[in-house]
Structure 1
Amino acid sequence: MEIDLTLIHWIYLAFILAIIGFMLFRRDTTITCIVGILSLAAASTFSVSDSVSSLFNSFIFAITELLPTILVISIIVAMSKILTISGINEVMISPFSKVIKNPTTAYWTIGILMMVISFFFWPSPAVALIGAVLLPVAIRAGLPALGVAISMNLFGHGIALSGDFIIQAAPKLTADAAGLPVGDVIQASIPLVITMGVVTTISAYILLMRDIKLKKPFPTVAAPSPIQDSSDEQLSSTGRKILALLIPIIFLIDVILMFTLNLQGGDATALIGGTALLILIVTTCLTHKKRGFEETTNYLIQGFQFGFRVFGPVIPIAAFFYLGDAGFNTIIGDYLPKSSEGIINDLGVALAHVVPLTPEVGTITLTGVGVLTGLDGSGFSGISLAGSIAQLFSTAIGVSAATLTALGQVAGIWVGGGTLIPWALIPAAAICGVDPFELARKNLIPVSIGLVVTTIVAMFLI
């Protein structure tokens, strides 16, 4: 399918490059994104009022899309505050301190546990389950909060989500687009997922340990100051032990319910968020007694303050990148060509049409298409395109469509599913109290190395 690129496409591509450049040079991207939105709207509508209105509408669209994540993170943070102040968290984490004794064991234990849970329930609810309990243990063992976020991010949103061997949503999308059985794509993806996972996590571990040894600073987002308790508003030792036992059991019941009721993605996250809210209310009332009603509201306020402090810088850049997909018609209007599948997908198809057809170039192109379509921060919106292009290339050059499809899937989800796009990796960043942009920068080198090595491996497999 031929795609005619318009001025809108070229403006979008120019601002993508500008935003990436600003990120690499550690400069804020807010103004660049706002100018990008305004430029796209102006080039589409030729109306000053409509262009200015599109700025506000793009922010509303981005907040609406991000709101479920903002909400669950805010509630988890609020719950974590009362667990810490009441002393319950101290009791809960004590058993893990016997296993997690140094940064190395913290990094690999948290990562592997995150990967296993994410295989069954996807990463977002897994982040909430693991981060709230194991973050304090890891920090005590010497692994900074940013290191915990990197571990959860790479193992969960990287390895588990890109393979998606249990739930199989990702391979189903790519397989359908490529006209292949799901089993073929899963089988072809196994060596690629293993290669990408091993190379990326080991690279990140080496760089992280180097920074720890050099005593480099690991910036965090300042959490709200805890509410000071009077001496008559503390849980008894018995109360702390009972709740420290009950809370993990309650979350374990959530896990069982997610499995038995087949709750995935947003539904699983909603269950975790609702459970955290109930734990917050009960624990606050037991801890603060007569002031429980008022303090519950205070903890929620602190949670929302923290959530929006973390999400604030992300909303402008998310607003821009949502224009690359379905958000364009909603925010600006129906100004793209009738044949358009969205700006990001159009650019991916155009890329596939301008490269020479050889097995080596085919694998590089599929990686490039995966990376490009992942820039919208979804990870899933563009992998169907990767499947379609893989089928096109395999027919033209006579190579394995399943391997090319799996490669595009792995690249798209590692980039867009939550390891390089700041607003996509917010769950891990927010739970750990770190800047999502800093987390994205730390992930950039390991993920880039992993993509290069995985692409080379794919060349030998096709």
Structure 2
Amino acid sequence: MLVELSALHWIYVVFIALIIGFMVKRRDTSLICILGIFLIAITATGSLSSSVSSIFNSFIYAITELLSTILVISIIVAMSKTLTSTGINDVMISPFTKLIRNPALAYWTIGILMMVISWFFWPSPAVALLGAVLLPVALRAGLPALGVAMAMNLFGHGIALSGDYVIQAAPKLTSDAAGIPIGDVISASIPLVVVMGVVTTIAAFYFLRRDMKNGVLQPTPYVPVELTEQTTSEKNLLSISQKRFFAILVPILFAIDVAGMFTLDLTGGDATALVGGTSIFILLLITMVSHKNKGLEKTTSFLIDGFTFGFKVFGPVIPIAAFFYLGDAGFGKIVGDFLPNGSQGIVNDLGIALANIVPLSKVVGAVTLTTVGAITGMDGSGFSGISLAGSVAGLFAVAIGKGVATLVALGQIAAIWVGGGTLVPWALIPAAAICNVDPFELARRNLLPVAIGLVVTTIVAMFLI
């Protein structure tokens, strides 16, 4: 049934366009999203007090929906700080240093390790876990620092973050925005993540080797960062045998988690809870063993650091998510039952209307989702705009009649590869800082391989819709 579009629908469309426009201009969109929530609420209710309240209610709704994701990321960061401060991460990764004997092995070893660690720790903590240990080894093997940064970016902030199969923060945001189960997005994203990852990393390696051969890129001498007295003392809190024990225990516990996810068919919130609970257990165990009498205070200190990171990362996401939740089930819970009779939600109504006006094709849908995803990633977060990609995917899928999960996955991949830390310079700072390279040069190096990957992945998606 075709629902006549109301002022609510048009306000929603106008603000989507405004959000995209501000992102293209590299401006913050929080104010635009809040204004959009207010205008939609006052148009629906006609009450100033209810509209003002709806802004706060939308934030509560968004935080409630995202809370498990924010929490698990905060806990994982807190745990990673424990591993780093005690030197356990050095022991965990040291066996792999024997594999790095030439630039090619350095690139692929660091990249694959970064991808695996990022699945569990997320890329930014993984950079700290991995970079400080393997960077000097890679430089001694002849891989320039820029090549090390590229490997960590493309495999971590690209492949691992765009799929996000363990923590599942990205598919949670996009699936909620599109109104489909998170498992559908994860399943649909696997072939696209594989294609994007293989094409991009191989293209990057080809250009890297070419420039090294031509002398454009020279080997980089490694200058170690001086450890502070406090950091040095913390690294000596555990004996070598204790560090080895925990270095073996931590991956075993996470491997058991992964096995449990497959065996018990845990996804979404259940999978997140398992990883989060395991991370808390590891944090407590290592902190109490290493700091002993001061373990109680250090546990709280690490948790504060983790929560500070988590809310700093998701601060820009909450207003945007709050706006886009209005497009689906969130409208009734935030504003109330004020949609026209027969409405299936603002986004679905727009999709049905679009299907009756412009018959869209799989080609147009795939190209549009890649473009929208890339544009939303320009804010440098990678996450703040993927709710938009999910909403647009839901709209286009209704118009096309199929392929919603594939379109959602495609938009998610494009947004995170562009904004999650491979192209936008201010998103590259962690890897650039660890490797002591210019983030703008790193972005320029990543541009062509990522662009090639997005084109190929978009073409593949056309056949999967």
Global fold match (TM > 0.5): yes
CA deviations on 1:156-196 (whole Å, 9 max, x unpaired) are 454687xx9xxxxx99xx9x99xxxx9xxx9x999877655
Counterparts of 1:238 and 1:290, CA distance in 2: 21
Q: Does 1:268 align with 2:271?
A: yes
CA deviations on 1:390-449 (whole Å, 9 max, x unpaired) are 44xxxxxxxxxxxxx45x533321324784499999xxx99x9699xx9xx999997776
The amino acid across from 2:257 in the alignment is: D
1:400 matched residue in structure 2: none
Q: Does 1:346 align with 2:349?
A: yes
* 1:197–1:450 CA contact under 8 A, matched in 2: yes
Counterparts of 1:57 and 1:421, CA distance in 2: 32
Query: Where does structure 2 lack aligned partners over 5 or more consecutive residues?
Result: 139-144, 169-173, 219-227, 377-384, 433-438
Q: Does 1:306 align with 2:316?
A: no
Counterparts of 1:365 and 1:9, CA distance in 2: 21
Q: Does the C-alpha gap of structure 1 residues 343 and 54 become closer, same or farther in structure 2, counting only changes over 3 Å? A: same
1:222 matched residue in structure 2: none
CA deviations on 1:360-415 (whole Å, 9 max, x unpaired) are x4531465479879966297778676665444xxxxxxxxxxxxx45x53332132
CA deviations on 1:201-229 (whole Å, 9 max, x unpaired) are 5677799999x9899xxxxxxxxx99768
Deviation of the 1:125 alpha carbon: 7.8
The amino acid across from 1:52 in the alignment is: V
Of residues 20-29 and 362-371 in structure 1, the stretch that sits farther from structure 2 once superposed is: 362-371
The amino acid across from 2:387 in the alignment is: G
* 1:41–1:54 CA contact under 8 A, matched in 2: yes
2:224 matched residue in structure 1: none
Q: Does the C-alpha gap of structure 1 residues 311 and 337 become closer, same or farther in structure 2, counting only changes over 3 Å? A: same
1:46 matched residue in structure 2: 46
1:148 matched residue in structure 2: 152
Of residues 281-290 and 193-202 in structure 1, the stretch that sits farther from structure 2 once superposed is: 193-202
1:36 matched residue in structure 2: 36
* 1:128–1:272 CA contact under 8 A, matched in 2: no
SS in 1 for 2:340: coil
Q: Does 1:74 align with 2:84?
A: no
* 1:70–1:308 CA contact under 8 A, matched in 2: yes
The amino acid across from 2:321 in the alignment is: A
Counterparts of 2:197 and 2:334, CA distance in 1: 37
The amino acid across from 1:413 in the alignment is: A
Counterparts of 1:387 and 1:89, CA distance in 2: 44
* 2:57–2:334 CA contact under 8 A, matched in 1: yes
1:65 matched residue in structure 2: 65
Cα RMSD after superposing both structures: 5.0
2:436 matched residue in structure 1: none
CA deviations on 1:10-44 (whole Å, 9 max, x unpaired) are 11111112112222222122211111111111221
Q: Does the C-alpha gap of structure 1 residues 341 and 64 become closer, same or farther in structure 2, counting only changes over 3 Å? A: same
Q: Find the partner of 2:387 among 356, 362, 377.
A: 377
* 2:78–2:306 CA contact under 8 A, matched in 1: yes
2:94 matched residue in structure 1: 94
* 1:370–1:412 CA contact under 8 A, matched in 2: no
Q: Does the C-alpha gap of structure 1 residues 284 and 209 become closer, same or farther in structure 2, counting only changes over 3 Å? A: farther
SS in 1 for 2:266: coil
The amino acid across from 1:309 in the alignment is: K
* 1:324–1:344 CA contact under 8 A, matched in 2: yes
The amino acid across from 2:254 in the alignment is: F
The amino acid across from 1:409 in the alignment is: A
The amino acid across from 2:155 in the alignment is: S
1:56 matched residue in structure 2: 56
Counterparts of 2:23 and 2:49, CA distance in 1: 30
Q: Find the partner of 2:257 among 254, 258, 261.
A: 254
Query: Where does structure 1 lack aligned partners over 5 or more consecutive residues?
Result: 165-169, 216-224, 392-404
2:4 matched residue in structure 1: 4
TM-score scaled by structure 1? 0.69
The amino acid across from 1:89 in the alignment is: N
SS in 2 for 1:234: coil
Matches within 5 A, 1:267-416: 267-356=270-359, 361-365=361-365, 368=368, 377=387, 389-391=399-401, 405-406=402-403, 408-416=404-412
Of residues 151-160 and 241-250 in structure 1, the stretch that sits farther from structure 2 once superposed is: 151-160
Deviation of the 1:284 alpha carbon: 0.8
Q: Does the C-alpha gap of structure 1 residues 117 and 274 become closer, same or farther in structure 2, counting only changes over 3 Å? A: same
The amino acid across from 2:406 in the alignment is: V
Of residues 69-78 and 191-200 in structure 1, the stretch that sits farther from structure 2 once superposed is: 191-200
Matches within 5 A, 1:181-260: 196-199=196-199, 234-260=237-263
Counterparts of 1:104 and 1:43, CA distance in 2: 59
Give the number of equivalent residue pairs: 407
Q: Does the C-alpha gap of structure 1 residues 113 and 289 become closer, same or farther in structure 2, counting only changes over 3 Å? A: closer
Q: Does the C-alpha gap of structure 1 residues 86 and 461 become closer, same or farther in structure 2, counting only changes over 3 Å? A: closer
Deviation of the 1:349 alpha carbon: 2.8
1:396 matched residue in structure 2: none
TM-score scaled by structure 2? 0.68
Deviation of the 1:49 alpha carbon: 0.3
* 1:370–1:386 CA contact under 8 A, matched in 2: no
SS in 2 for 1:339: coil
Counterparts of 2:24 and 2:208, CA distance in 1: 18
* 1:196–1:450 CA contact under 8 A, matched in 2: yes
